[in-house]
Amino acid sequence: MNRNDSLFFTAVMLFFVFFAGAATKKTAVSDLRCEYKTNPLGIGDLNPRLSWKIVSEKNDQMQTGYHVLVATSPKLLKAGKADLWDSGKIDSEQCIQVNYQGRQLESGQRCYWAVRIWDKDKEATSWSEPAWFEMGMLNPSDWKSDWIKTAIEFEEYSYPAPHFRKEFEVAKKIKSARLYCTSLGLYEFFLNGERVGDQVFTPGWTSFANRLQYQVYDVTPMLKNGTNAAGIVLGNGWYRAFRPNSNQAQEIKDLEVLAQLELVYTDGTKTFIGTDGTWKSATGAIVKSEIYDGEVYDARLEKTGWNTPGFDDDNWSGVLSTSSSKNLLVSSVSEPVRKIEEIHPVEIIVTPQGDTIVDMGQNMVGWCRLKANCQAGTTIRLQHAEVLDKDGNFYTTNLRTAKQEIIYTFKGEGIEEYEPHFTFQGFRYVKVSGYPGTVNKNMLTGVVVHSDLETTGTFSCNNDLINQLQHNIVWGQKGNFLDVPTDCPQRNERLGWTGDAQVFAPTSCFNMNSAAFWTKWLYDLDADQHEDGAVPHVIPNVLQRGGSSGWADAAVIVPWVLYQSYGDKRILQQQYTSMRNWVEFMHSQAGSKNIYVPKDRQFGDWLAFATTRSDYPGATTDKDFLSTAYYYNSVNLLRQIAEILDKTDDALRYKDLQSKIKTAFNREFVTHNGRLSSNTQTAYVVALTFGLLPPELEREAARRLAADVNQFGHITTGFLGTADICHTLSKYGYLDEAYNLLYRKEYPSWLYPVTKGATTIWERWDGIKPDGSFQNPGMNSFNHYAYGAVGDWLYKVVAGIKSDANSPGYKRIIINPHPGNEMNNVRASHESPYGMVTSSWEIKANTFQLTVDIPANTTAEVIIPSTGTTFSVNDNPVKPLEKLDREGLSYHFLRTEIGSGHYVFKTSFSPDIKKL
């Protein structure tokens, strides 16, 4: 059987498989969500957005209409009596971000909803399974309880964690019970001895002077008839986080809590139990707990049963009601931080200096659960580090002043288990001191903690080092997405740097469903933005000033990323004033010359490659060049956003300003031959990516970029240039150069840290130098996601998955893989708002095979590498077998369909072709 016969036989077999089950093909609605969440408690928006996915056994299935019902009870919903909203049939393909448009919703109201759709054949599906969402506290007046703090006076700034308790009676049968809680500081809440919820680090980190989140819990099963007990523990957290060179922490004195328990009885009556002056307070075993320094815990000081009914609290102190505002309280938007997974030690090491080290095998963020049996008074100290030095000794110099240590004193009552409460560490290695026996692997378990974001992306290929790079990118995101997108999770910093955030945002949205996470952070950016429009360097703002180009532009770039990734138009509406204020700030300083020369501190292309070579001064890109380029980019994006939001006057104004900036930029920074004033890789990447050059100079600028890459054989970009260098090279036909950068294993490169054993992305290209020594310990994090921004290129270009810019949120999908170098087998997937998108390709035996999954209610354009052949999927059927003669070579294409949205494309080519 020859190749063509084989392909034809395959086509016939797949054709038979596809049509054999046609009679049983069904379409249904699934995965109902409200504000990106499944059955969420505590919605704060009066017009929440509803989304659903369509599952069909039919190919090319589309939604042509929908019908939403929202009711106050499941019974009404089942009967089709939507007393809150009956949309009727809406002729529309929209199945994401559908605005609720019913009766005005009330605080604490639970809303049950269902949806059905009409398919491409105008046939209605069955109603979906019901889902629900529940409103939070919509008005400050809903809070009947008081802010309280302990009446105990402490002499030292860092004091033991305050404990609060109160007993109350439940006299009737409970229908439902909700706990609403927040704090100034971190809190843990208990009912009848059991911890409420699985969230940690509540209420989260926000712009405390402007916004403070509260959480909502369904505690119905935790209560009982008769006497019940509530308990609360507070920790410093970010609210009182002590950071050197900052006066903010010292200005904030007291930890406070606000809690309200609402009971609804089966007879329809309600009871409120809240924090007030009747509560009691004391301290316990948490002697000290700090974000950066860790926790000191003395188990001998535990108050057994303190949060259960009947505990003797006669010796406890009282509490004081405070006047803290309830007007700043907002519902929680992002997914909470949780304990996500556990890691077990891989090795016990005794260092040359004699220290006992537990190797977790992975640079992680969270803490260790300690399990041991020691006599009363025995104290164990756990110190945490990311790396060992070149001699194999424990290394913590790069932590600067952060101690990140746990000190635990045993009570001596058998095997004791302990986990920290209000602190986290960034580490791989744990130094154990003070243990009287032999340290073993069963003593410590790594508990990985981060915002509980749904995994939505996967990427793998035939190269183990690149697979490890992808692993490192994901773990860098895990470690630094702990309620806030931080730069690092270990040293005395751990801040939401805006520059790191904007370059990594696209990759983050591939890896995880990051929409709500970024939305929450953007609300804080808006809240902390200065009156003149300048955007702080970090969000939440603890460093005061800002306005650095490429950093502050996160105000515009991140909302745009969310719009492109999730079709989220509302985030553009909500952040529009913030975006415009930042652009106007730049405009006020640029003036009529339209060259932005900032007055504030500029970080530029942070940590770009530096060298001592006499013939090359390094890769420093002029900051005025970068500032003007980012000025143009933000104006360009704001112009597009104004058009999307029908702000016609703004759109015209920014279009005119955009043109003026481009003219000024080319006059100031570009020669007539296409050479840039800053002759660096980052300069060319930024100019080409932002569209700053005249069309006639783009190719020459791209050639100069590729020539620089080839001259040095490696990347020289810093934070601002790294994200787009491979994109730019690929776009202008220099795919080989992009792949060479990816495959390079020597410093500087993405794979160099992998060869040094990295399990996360490093802050610097050479955090560990080739000779084994370390970079400057003042700034040398080994868990820093910024350089992991290359992940966006792996998904979009190597695997070829991206959303059409004109149909955001993956309503229209482009599959355009780019094989190169030694890459011959790639598998990638992304759970889009509409469903799973996959692109898997393989080159084997002179055949390129591409397998694609496209979700229902979307269309796709599939481009076969190197041939220029394009297939339309889900909207325009094509022939199953085609032949194309191109440049004297014969290519054969096979297109088959298997089940819903599953397509296989095969291309055979001559054996003398080394790669597509």
Active-site choice (134, 256, 335, 493)? 493
CA gap 512, 371 in Å, rounded: 33
Q: Minimal CA–CA distance to 255: which of 306, 355, 186?
A: 186
**Per residue in 423-478, pLDDT tens?**
999 999 999 999 999 999 999 999 999 999 999 999 999 999 999 999 999 999 99
**Per residue in 56-70, pLDDT tens?**
988 889 999 999 999
To the nearest 10°, the Cα dihedral for 371, 376, 381, 382? 10
Decide if pLDDT at 670 tops 70. yes
The amino acid at 850: L
Active-site choice (134, 335, 737, 763)? 763
**Per residue in 15-43, pLDDT tens?**
323 333 334 469 999 999 999 999 999 99
Residue with tokens 């990323």: 561
The pLDDT score that the predictor gives to residue 879 is: 40
Decide if pLDDT at 876 tops 70. no
Decide if pLDDT at 13 tops 50. no
Q: Across the strands, what pairs with 886? A: 889
The pLDDT score that the predictor gives to residue 912 is: 44
**Per residue in 112-126, pLDDT tens?**
999 999 999 999 999
Decide if pLDDT at 217 tops 70. yes
CA gap 590, 631 in Å, rounded: 9
Angle between helical axes of 623-644 and 569-590 (0-180°, round to 10): 140
Share of the chain above pLDDT 90, in %: 86
Decide if pLDDT at 765 tops 80. yes
- Do 495 and 238 contact (CB within 8 A), yes or no? no
Q: Minimal CA–CA distance to 906: which of 871, 875, 876, 874?
A: 871
CA gap 660, 634 in Å, rounded: 14
The pLDDT score that the predictor gives to residue 865 is: 86
Residues 6+ apart with CB under 8 A from 278: 166
The encoded tokens of residue 761 equal 């992305």
Assign 672 to helix, strand or coil: coil
State residue 717 phi and psi, 5-degree precision: -80, 155
The pLDDT score that the predictor gives to residue 619 is: 79
pTM of the model: 0.94
The pLDDT score that the predictor gives to residue 609 is: 87
Residue with tokens 């991140």: 558
Q: Minimal CA–CA distance to 346: which of 357, 355, 359, 356?
A: 359
Query: What value does the mean pLDDT take over residues 846-858?
Result: 91
Query: What value does the mean pLDDT take over residues 356-368?
Result: 98
Residue bearing the bigger pLDDT, 385 or 895: 385
pLDDT band at 897 (very low <50, low <70, confident <90, very high): low
Q: Minimal CA–CA distance to 623: which of 497, 499, 767, 730?
A: 499
Query: What value does the mean pLDDT take over residues 201-230?
Result: 98
Query: What value does the mean pLDDT take over residues 521-546?
Result: 95
Residues 6+ apart with CB under 8 A from 437: none
Burial of 648 (0-12, 13-18, 19+ CB in 10 A): exposed
The sign of the CA dihedral 831, 833, 835, 840 is: negative
What is the chain's mean pLDDT, rounded? 92
Annotated catalytic residue 493: yes
Query: What value does the mean pLDDT take over residues 648-671?
Result: 98
* DSSP letters spanning 408-477: EE---SSSEEE--SS--EEEEEEEEES-SS---GGGEEEEEEEE-PPB-EEEEES-HHHHHHHHHHHHHH
Decide if pLDDT at 545 tops 90. no
The pLDDT score that the predictor gives to residue 271 is: 96
To the nearest 10°, the Cα dihedral for 33, 35, 38, 41? -140
The pLDDT score that the predictor gives to residue 903 is: 82
The pLDDT score that the predictor gives to residue 24 is: 47
The amino acid at 13: M
Decide if pLDDT at 342 tops 80. yes
Assign 309 to helix, strand or coil: coil
CA atoms within 13 A on the CB side of 105: 26
The pLDDT score that the predictor gives to residue 359 is: 98
CA gap 701, 731 in Å, rounded: 12
* DSSP E strand boundaries for 105-240: 110-118, 131-135, 148-150, 162-170, 174-184, 186-191, 194-195, 199-200, 212-218, 226-235
**Per residue in 812-827, pLDDT tens?**
999 999 999 999 999 9
Alpha helix locations (H) across 137-180?
A: none
Annotated catalytic residue 763: yes
CA gap 797, 746 in Å, rounded: 23
The pLDDT score that the predictor gives to residue 900 is: 63
Assign 904 to helix, strand or coil: strand
- Do 57 and 899 contact (CB within 8 A), yes or no? yes
Query: What value does the mean pLDDT take over residues 481-502?
Result: 97
The pLDDT score that the predictor gives to residue 418 is: 98
The amino acid at 347: E
Residue bearing the bigger pLDDT, 18 or 858: 858
The pLDDT score that the predictor gives to residue 4 is: 38
Q: What angle do CA 322, 324, 325 make, to 5 degrees?
A: 145
**Per residue in 562-605, pLDDT tens?**
999 999 999 999 999 999 999 999 999 999 999 999 988 999 99
Residue with tokens 């801040």: 495
Decide if pLDDT at 882 tops 70. no
Decide if pLDDT at 83 tops 50. yes
The amino acid at 604: G
The pLDDT score that the predictor gives to residue 426 is: 98
Decide if pLDDT at 617 tops 70. no
**Per residue in 780-822, pLDDT tens?**
999 999 999 999 999 999 999 999 999 999 999 999 999 999 9
Decide if pLDDT at 618 tops 70. no
**Per residue in 646-658, pLDDT tens?**
999 999 999 999 9
The pLDDT score that the predictor gives to residue 687 is: 98
**Per residue in 701-743, pLDDT tens?**
999 999 999 999 999 999 999 999 999 999 999 999 999 999 9
CA gap 306, 223 in Å, rounded: 17
Share of the chain above pLDDT 70, in %: 91
CA gap 781, 764 in Å, rounded: 8
The pLDDT score that the predictor gives to residue 253 is: 76
The pLDDT score that the predictor gives to residue 243 is: 57
